[in-house]
Chains A and B, each alone.
Chain A
Amino acid sequence: MADALRIKLTGRAILVLVFGFLYLPIAVLVLLSFNDSGLPTSWSGFSLRWYVSLAGNSDILHAAWNTLIVAVVATIIATILGTMLAIGMETRKRRSTPLEALAFAPMVIPDIVLAVALLTLFSRLNVAMGLHTIIVSHVIFDLAFVCSVVRARLKNFDFSIVEASRDLGASSFTTFWRVTFPVLLPAIVAGALLAFTLSVDEFIIAFFTAGAGRASITLPMQIYSMIRFGITPEINALATIVMGVSATVLLISQWLNKEQMTR
């Protein structure tokens, strides 16, 4: 028994260390964002001044607005396409290897390669780049993630209720909206929320497909240039807000996914 206790305690100790490693750096940023001096050297009292100065920074507000437009539009398109792809793949009689590879590729392709490939495409086609090209590009990986979340749900889906609905005389259209869709909805929303956070946080592809100038700069691009060109305490406040939004959206997404699994 002493042995079992020792193993249990070792396990706990490892968990504390690993979660410490994962969360301490983030906690430091959050803490610093409320530090009046803004410096890691000393704590000079609690203050919201960096948040106030953030709210008055028009560059950041502009970038945040752009990010919101990109993320919302890309998420809507990706959710529709990704859900349809998931249904298409799961209702097939046989697995199609090329289709599996196509749906998997956006999740593993190095983002720098996708970024330069899209830049090459848009400049070849002489497309003026801006928010619309970022949206088109973000849909690529967003739809792959929506698809994988919805497919996980479809794997546990009892297709006999679809047959039952059809046998009882409902059209395939009615069956989809009244039977399949309500069952899939939590997974679709969870996938959409994941796509939204991925899009909000994506930097490299946006950086390459935004075109020149500041017009279509997104928040991660703004953060990158702030980090590159001198650290200001404002970044800590911005980082805290961005992390907070991501974590909240992901918690909701996870909660939805759990709800549907236990039901």
Chain B
Amino acid sequence: MSSQTARSNLMALPAIAWLGLFMIVPCVIVFAYAFLTRGLYGGVEYTLTSDNFLRVIDPLYAKIFLTSVRIAGLATLFAILIAYPAAYAICLAPKRAQPMLLFFAVLPFWSNYLIRTYAWIVLLNREGLINNLLRWLGYDGEPLSLLYSEGAVIVGLVYNYLPFVILAIYSSLSRLNGELVEASRDLGAGRIRTFWRVTLPLTMPGVAAGGVFIFVLSIGNFVTPALLGGGRFQMIGNLVYDQFLTANDWPFGAALGMVLIAVMVTLLLLQARASARFSGETAEAKNG
């Protein structure tokens, strides 16, 4: 090993040790817990079992899993449908204004998640702003129950993660080779056809990166279903929470946590492979 490599490794060592001790080790312990048996009073017994994973596919829990996938999937879909035009519009703005627009699009993302979710309680509840607005506009029926519904959970997820999806799609769009779009137009393709056949396929890596991000964070979410779903819509995150803090079944909670990690790793790998293949293809197209 060269002395430079040794020095680089030494610099990285404290952080590696910290992450190893407080991230890797705990995750390994949780992984091990997933194969142990639930003990009395919240403990574990050292009897190996696969029951915890079998319980995940028990109809009761499989239903929660499917609900989570549906809610996260719809949130992902809506976020992309909003973020794509938004990112495109930022690209159309004058070059000098773009960094600022992007910064303000992402700013809410870094601020308090709970407060951003709470804002939607204020908007959606029966005495909330939207119902008041409707009454003011002349609606005099029963106030709408917008809160504590699947729709409210989806709106909350889209609202909270939209900034990052915009950022991911923007970074793809801004790197788009304008000549390809021009060439397509010159060759007689209309605007819409050019978009579907050139722009959209070329910006798919950004869409995939943003999509995977919001899907992963949504499916493991615990705050949004708890606050905007009012506990009526259990998602995997809430189930993990319950196993650890109320049901005291840590091995089952651990198994659920591992399922979440597995979903995350699978999607990230798929996305990495797809975008690697994609950049290979475009490089080929450029050379060939």
Which residues of A in the span 2-45 have a Cβ within 8 Å of any Cβ on B?
Answer: 7-8, 10-12, 14-15, 18-19, 21-23, 25-26, 28-29, 32, 39-41
- A224 / chain B contacts, CB cutoff of 8 Å: 114, 223
The residue among B9, B103, B108, B114 with the most chain A CB atoms within 10 A of its own CB is: B114
When C-beta atoms are compared, the residue in chain B nearest to A219 turns out to be B112
Q: What is the 8 Å Cβ interface bit string for chain B, positions 247-276, against chain A (1 contact, 0 not)?
A: 000100110010011001000100000000
Q: Say yes or no: is B139 at the interface (Cβ < 8 Å to chain A).
A: no
* Of A14, A106, A243, A246, the contact of B19 (CB 8 Å cutoff): A106
Q: Say yes or no: is B241 at the interface (Cβ < 8 Å to chain A).
A: yes
Are A223 and B114 CB-contacts (below 8 A) given A11-B92, A102-B16, A117-B30?
yes
15 CB contacts below 8 A, A to B, read A14-B85, A21-B162, A85-B11, A87-B11, A88-B8, A108-B264, A110-B220, A112-B241, A113-B220, A116-B257, A139-B22, A204-B222, A227-B227, A239-B115, A250-B107
Which residues of B in the span 1-21 have a Cβ within 8 Å of any Cβ on A?
Answer: 2, 4-5, 7-16, 18-20
- A258 / chain B contacts, CB cutoff of 8 Å: 99
- B257 / chain A contacts, CB cutoff of 8 Å: 110, 112-113, 116-117
Cβ-defined contact, B12 with A88, below 8 A: yes
Cβ-defined contact, B7 with A227, below 8 A: no
Q: What is the 8 Å Cβ interface bit string for chain A, positions 66-97, against chain B (1 contact, 0 not)?
A: 00000000000000111011011101110000
Selected interface stretch from A50-58, A182-190, A195-203: A195-203
Q: Say yes or no: is B61 at the interface (Cβ < 8 Å to chain A).
A: no
| C-alpha spacing A151/B64, complex, angstroms | 40
Q: Say yes or no: is A231 at the interface (Cβ < 8 Å to chain B).
A: yes
Which residues of B in the span 24-45 have a Cβ within 8 Å of any Cβ on A?
Answer: 24-27, 29-30, 33
* Of B11, B13, B93, B159, the contact of A11 (CB 8 Å cutoff): B93
Cβ-defined contact, B86 with A109, below 8 A: no
Are A113 and B261 CB-contacts (below 8 A) given A26-B108, A81-B18, A89-B12?
yes
Q: Say yes or no: is A165 at the interface (Cβ < 8 Å to chain B).
A: no
- By Cβ-Cβ distance, the 9 closest A-B pairs, closest first, are A88-B12, A110-B220, A88-B11, A117-B26, A85-B15, A25-B119, A11-B92, A121-B26, A14-B89
| C-alpha spacing A137/B12, complex, angstroms | 19
- A247 / chain B contacts, CB cutoff of 8 Å: 107, 111
| C-alpha spacing A92/B1, complex, angstroms | 11
Q: What is the predominant secondary structure among interface residues of chain A facing chain B?
A: helix
B residues near A, CB below 8 A?
2, 4-5, 7-16, 18-20, 22-27, 29-30, 33, 82, 85-86, 88-90, 92-93, 99, 101, 103-105, 107-108, 110-116, 118-123, 127-129, 132, 159, 162-163, 166, 213, 216-217, 219-223, 226-227, 237, 240-241, 244-245, 250, 253-254, 257, 260-261, 264, 268
When C-beta atoms are compared, the residue in chain B nearest to A89 turns out to be B12
Shortest distance from the beta carbon of B163 to any chain A beta carbon, whole Å:
7
Q: Say yes or no: is A254 at the interface (Cβ < 8 Å to chain B).
A: yes
Cβ-defined contact, A140 with B8, below 8 A: no
Cβ-defined contact, A231 with B115, below 8 A: no
Q: What is the predominant secondary structure among interface residues of chain B facing chain A?
A: helix
A residues near B, CB below 8 A?
7-8, 10-12, 14-15, 18-19, 21-23, 25-26, 28-29, 32, 39-41, 80-82, 84-85, 87-89, 91-93, 99, 102-103, 105-106, 108-114, 116-121, 124, 136-137, 139-140, 143, 147, 172, 194, 197-198, 200-201, 203-204, 208, 220, 223-224, 227-228, 231, 235-236, 239, 242-243, 246-247, 250, 254, 258
| C-alpha spacing A117/B89, complex, angstroms | 42
| C-alpha spacing A19/B123, complex, angstroms | 17
Shortest distance from the beta carbon of B213 to any chain A beta carbon, whole Å:
8
- B112 / chain A contacts, CB cutoff of 8 Å: 200-201, 220, 223, 239, 242-243, 246
| C-alpha spacing A22/B99, complex, angstroms | 17
Shortest distance from the beta carbon of A40 to any chain B beta carbon, whole Å:
5
Cβ-defined contact, A11 with B89, below 8 A: yes
Cβ-defined contact, B18 with A40, below 8 A: no
